[in-house]
């Protein structure tokens, strides 16, 4: 079951979803182009967030931020509870 969590993370877009347990966030296919667009400080408050998809595992539906150098390292450092980023750890 999915529902918008734009209010929780202060991020908006057509493909933003968080399951009812707060464990999965699907942000792929939006136009998030910089690290500040991700509002990582707000996402840190989602303590049960264990999976974050900013692109599909095959790199389709990627947000522009996915092409930045250090993107994965920065997100994993900021969100240590993640066990899954874009289908990988």
* Contact (Cβ atoms closer than 8 angstroms) between residue 28 and residue 53: yes
CATH number of the domain residue 23 falls in? 3.80.10.10
> Does any domain span residue 49?
yes
Range name among 5-14, 21-30, 56-65, 78-87 with the lowest pLDDT average: 5-14
Residues in contact with 43: Cβ distance below 8 Å, sequence separation at least 6, in sequence order? 9, 25, 49, 52, 78, 79
3-state secondary structure (DSSP) of residue 43: helix
Per-residue confidence (pLDDT) for residue 15, from 0 to 100: 52
Flag whether pLDDT at 21 surpasses 60: no
Q: Provide the strand spans (E) within the chain.
A: 2-3, 17-19, 24-26, 51-53, 84-85
The sign of the CA dihedral 12, 14, 16, 19 is positive
Q: Report yes or no on 65 lying in a domain.
A: yes
pTM over 0.85: no
In a domain, 63, yes or no: yes
Does 89 map to a domain? no
| Inside any domain, residue 14 | yes
Number of domains within the chain: 1
Domain that holds residue 17: 2-84
């Amino acid at each position: 079951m999915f529902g918008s969590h734009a209010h929780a993370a202060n991020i908006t877009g057509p493909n933003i979803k968080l399951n009812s347990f707060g464990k999965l966030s699907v942000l792929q296919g939006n136009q998030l182009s910089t690290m500040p667009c991700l509002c990582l400080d707000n996402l840190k408050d989602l303590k049960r967030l264990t999976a974050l998809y900013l692109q599909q595992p095959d790199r389709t539906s990627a947000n522009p931020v996915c092409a930045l150098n250090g993107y994965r390292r920065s997100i994993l450092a900021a969100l240590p509870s993640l066990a899954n980023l874009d289908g990988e750890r």
